[in-house]
Amino acid sequence: MNRSPFLQFVALFVLAAFLRGQEPVRPPATPESQKPIPVDVEADETGGPVRALTLEEAMRAGRSHNADLQAAELVPQQAGLNLLFAEAGFEPEVYGSADYSDARSPQRSAFQPSNHQIAINGALGWRQRVVTGGLFDLAFRPARFETSGSAAFPSKLYTAEWSASFRQPLLRGAWTDYNLAAVNSARYAFRQAQHDFDFAVQDTLQAIVEAYWELVFARENWHVVSSALAVAEEQLRITDERIRVRELAARDRVADEAEVARRREDLITAENAIRTREDNLRRLLFDAADPAFWRINLRPVSEIAVDPGDTEREFEPLVAVALAHRPDLQSRRSLVAQAEVALLQAERDVLPNLELVGNWSSDGARDRFSDAWNDATGIDYPDWSVGLEFSMPVGNNAARATAQRASLEVERQRRSLHAATLEVTKEVRAAVRNLNSLAESIRASAESVRLAESDLETEQVKLRVGASTAFEVQRRNQDLSEARSRHLRNLLDYRVAESRLLFVQGILESPL
In a domain, 118, yes or no: yes
> Same domain, yes or no, for 295 and 428?
yes
The CATH code of the domain that includes 427 is 1.20.1600.10
142 and 275 share one domain:
no
Q: Is residue 399 part of a domain?
A: no
Strand order across the 115-129 sheet: 93-105, 115-129, 135-148, 156-169, 353-366, 382-391
One domain for residues 491 and 431: yes
According to DSSP, the β-strands at 382-391 and 135-148 are unpaired
Q: What is the pTM of this model?
A: 0.81
Is residue 166 a part of any domain in this protein?
yes
DSSP string, 402-426: HHHHHHHHHHHHHHHHHHHHHHHHH
Q: How many independent structural domains does the chain possess?
A: 2
Q: How far apart are CA 427 and CA 422, in angstroms?
A: 9
Task: Give the pLDDT score at 153.
Answer: 61
In a domain, 406, yes or no: no
How many Cβ atoms are within 10 Å of 169's Cβ, its own excluded? Answer: 21
Ordered per-residue pLDDT tens for the chain, 512 residues: 444 544 444 444 444 444 344 343 333 344 455 678 888 887 777 767 888 899 999 999 999 999 999 999 999 999 999 999 999 989 999 999 999 998 887 776 666 667 788 999 999 999 999 999 999 999 999 999 988 766 556 778 999 999 999 999 999 999 999 999 999 999 999 999 999 999 999 999 999 999 999 999 999 999 999 988 998 898 898 888 888 888 778 888 898 899 899 999 999 999 999 999 999 999 999 876 767 778 888 999 999 998 887 777 888 899 999 999 999 999 999 999 999 999 999 999 999 999 999 999 999 988 888 989 998 999 888 999 999 999 988 888 999 999 999 999 999 999 999 999 999 999 999 999 999 999 999 999 999 999 999 998 998 888 777 787 777 888 888 898 889 899 999 999 999 999 999 999 999 987 76
CA 384/CA 381 separation, integer angstroms: 10
Residue among 204, 211, 189 nearest 70 (CA): 204
Residues 323 and 454 in one domain: yes
Distances (CA, A) of 313 to 318, 375, 445, 446: 9, 85, 21, 21
Does 229 lie in the same domain as 267?
Answer: yes
pLDDT above 90 as % of the chain: 62
Question: Strand, coil or helix: what is 122?
Answer: strand
How far apart are the C-alpha atoms of 95 and 123, rounded to whole Å? 8
Quick one: 112 and 232 in the same domain? no
Domain enclosing residue 50, as ranges:
9-79+184-337+412-505
**Residue 125 counted as domain residue:** yes
Residues 145 and 212 in one domain: no
The kind and range of the H/E element at 282 are helix 253-285
